[in-house]
């Protein structure tokens, strides 16, 4: 092992690595701790949204429970990750908040009433999933995932000639003439490459963290330090995989150049070609309806509801008479209940269309993600995003929690309304709910809960890749000629 380490230290590739790694990690630290795309900018935006949302709740709670119930609690912001400098993930391509509020008013109830009546569109969740930036400068992120991909490249640079070069020079047969077994030779070459790669990597990571800590812009707690330690372990697993892959090809071919060509082709395929092809395949396999198609479907379903409420039982009438006829009123509970049925039908339709659209998008991303985990580089990326809380799984959990909060808020409104004896207790009509103010501190607060259980799957896959490539390298070396 010491012989391998000494040999690696004297190569040009080692000099290139020890120069490039610290530079990349320092650039990463400066961009994300001091730059405009970093945690400071995101947490300031998050705090602003929380403050504005609180003012929104206080403003409408002071008016009445009915007003707060109809306009909604406002935005549900997603707290930015302190470890976004490690893995950007979906935090860079989705909106960091979900709106939970009514987005406008309608007069005359779309023609279902024969008198003027202004009412709010039923409360719904408004999702937004789109690219956060499309300029070339925003596409490449120098984060830990990017550096991890680079480390996999360095791993093949340090192993492509580990066996093939010694075979061509005749030193391998000389080595095997001693009492050293092939397993010991392979282990020594593996450990030599692993130590040579991991020591500069760990030193560079420590430099990166030192700059971030000294900047005081990203506060770290015990949770962040534990997750960073887990990320170092993920680096080790990825590097180990490509060391075994390099040893496998190096033992299969007769010269180092052929080994390098095969390794480069495999690396390019695993890092870029394979994920891109699968992403394109999944997109074409199950295309997501466009915004215009969703809008047309929504309009058609809402028009159908309006038509149902325009129908009359008298088949001799040439024109349909509105079922609702008059606007809702506190003095007429039956009329108000009819409006509640109408609003509920509209609200259910709006909720179904919005939820179904975002679910289709997330399922497509999830499917592509699951398929691309055949590549160890993609698996490494998803594990890093999982520990950084920037993964698609984390965003799906955020969406689910927002939906649960929507129901929690509605349940709060109904429970609070029961305490007003003057209310008709009819949701979701303004006239059917309490007209009295409500204590804003009693309004339930949205709290995001974070889980890291999904990372265990990726860790298991990386361990499996290590075992598979170790067996491949071991069997290949045992069956190869030493001359």
Each residue's pLDDT tens digit, 194-206 = 999 999 999 999 9
pLDDT over threshold 80, residue 303: yes
Q: What is the mean pLDDT of the chain?
A: 85
What's the rounded mean pLDDT across residues 445-465? 91
SS3 122: coil
Task: Look at residue 173 in the predicted model and tell me its pLDDT.
Answer: 72
DSSP conformation letters of 171-206 = HHHHHHTSS--HHHHHHHHHHHHHHHHHHHHHHHHH
**Which helix (DSSP H) or strand (DSSP E) does residue 101 occupy?**
strand 97-101
pLDDT classification of 207: cutoffs 50, 70, 90: very high
Quick check: 127 and 95 in contact, CB under 8 A?
yes
Nearest residue to 91 via CA among 429, 418, 389 = 389
Whether residue 316 is contained in a domain is answered as: no
Quick check: 172 and 166 in contact, CB under 8 A?
yes
Whether residue 294 is contained in a domain is answered as: no
Largest CA distance in the chain: 107
Quick check: 238 and 462 in contact, CB under 8 A?
yes
Q: What is the side-by-side strand order in the sheet with 124-126?
A: 74-77, 97-101, 124-126
Whether residue 440 is contained in a domain is answered as: yes
Task: Look at residue 104 in the predicted model and tell me its pLDDT.
Answer: 65
pTM here? 0.87
pLDDT tens digits, residue range 374-407?
999 999 999 999 999 988 888 889 999 999 999 9
What's the rounded mean pLDDT across residues 327-343? 87
List C-alpha distances in Å: 318 to 174, 312, 315, 437. 103, 10, 8, 46
Whether residue 404 is contained in a domain is answered as: yes
Whether residue 72 is contained in a domain is answered as: yes
Quick check: 73 and 251 in contact, CB under 8 A?
no
Number of domains in the chain: 1
Task: Look at residue 136 in the predicted model and tell me its pLDDT.
Answer: 35
**Which helix (DSSP H) or strand (DSSP E) does residue 124 occupy?**
strand 124-126
Residues 33, 28: Cα–Cα separation, whole Å:
8
Range of lowest pLDDT (105-114, 185-194, 350-359): 105-114
Structural domain that includes position 248? 1-269+372-483
pLDDT tens digits, residue range 52-92?
999 999 999 999 999 999 888 888 888 888 998 999 887 66
Whether residue 260 is contained in a domain is answered as: yes
Whether residue 328 is contained in a domain is answered as: no
Whether residue 301 is contained in a domain is answered as: no
């Amino acid at each position: 092992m010491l012989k391998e380490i000494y040999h690696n230290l004297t190569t040009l590739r080692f000099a290139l690595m020890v120069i490039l790694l610290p530079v990349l990690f320092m650039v990463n630290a400066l961009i994300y701790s001091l730059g405009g795309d970093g945690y400071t900018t995101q947490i300031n935006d998050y705090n602003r949204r929380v403050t504005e949302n609180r003012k929104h709740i206080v403003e409408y709670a002071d008016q009445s429970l009915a007003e707060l119930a109809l306009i909604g609690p406002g935005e549900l912001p997603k707290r930015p990750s302190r470890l976004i400098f490690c893995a950007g993930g979906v935090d860079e391509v989705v909106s960091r908040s979900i709106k939970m509020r009514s987005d406008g008013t309608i007069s005359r109830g779309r023609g279902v009433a024969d008198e003027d009546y202004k009412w709010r569109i039923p409360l719904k969740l408004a999702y937004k999933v789109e690219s956060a930036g499309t300029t070339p400068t925003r596409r490449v992120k120098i984060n830990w995932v990017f550096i991890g991909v680079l480390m996999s490249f360095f791993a093949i640079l340090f192993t492509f000639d580990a066996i093939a070069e010694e075979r061509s020079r005749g030193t391998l047969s000389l080595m095997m003439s001693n009492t050293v077994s092939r397993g010991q030779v392979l282990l020594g070459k593996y450990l030599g490459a692993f130590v040579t790669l991991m020591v500069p990597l760990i030193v560079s990571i420590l430099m990166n963290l030192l700059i971030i800590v000294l900047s005081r812009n990203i506060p770290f707690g015990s949770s962040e330090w534990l997750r960073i330690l887990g990320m170092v372990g993920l680096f080790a697993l990825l590097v180990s995989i490509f060391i075994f892959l390099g040893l496998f090809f190096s033992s299969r071919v007769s010269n180092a150049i052929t080994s390098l060509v095969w390794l480069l082709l495999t690396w390019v395929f695993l890092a870029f070609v394979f994920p891109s092809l699968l992403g394109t395949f999944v997109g074409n396999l199950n295309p997501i309806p466009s915004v215009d198609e969703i809008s047309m479907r929504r309009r058609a379903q809402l028009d159908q509801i309006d038509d149902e409420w325009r129908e009359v039982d008298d088949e001799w009438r040439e024109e349909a008479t509105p079922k609702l006829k008059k606007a809702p009123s506190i003095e007429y509970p039956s009329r108000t209940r009819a409006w509640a049925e109408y609003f509920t039908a509209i609200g259910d339709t709006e909720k179904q269309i919005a939820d179904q659209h975002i679910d289709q998008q997330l399922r497509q991303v999830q499917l592509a993600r699951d398929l691309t985990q055949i590549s160890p580089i993609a698996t490494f990326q998803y594990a890093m995003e999982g520990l950084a809380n920037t993964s698609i799984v984390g965003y799906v959990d955020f969406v689910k929690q927002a939906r649960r909060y929507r129901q929690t808020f509605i349940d709060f409104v109904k429970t609070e309304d029961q305490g007003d004896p003057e209310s008709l207790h009819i949701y979701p009509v303004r006239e059917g709910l309490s007209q009295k103010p409500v204590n804003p501190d009693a309004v339930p607060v949205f709290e995001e809960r974070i889980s890291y259980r999904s990372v265990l799957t990726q860790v298991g896959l990386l361990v499996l890749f290590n075992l598979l490539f170790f067996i491949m390298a071991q069997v290949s070396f045992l069956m190869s000629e030493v001359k």
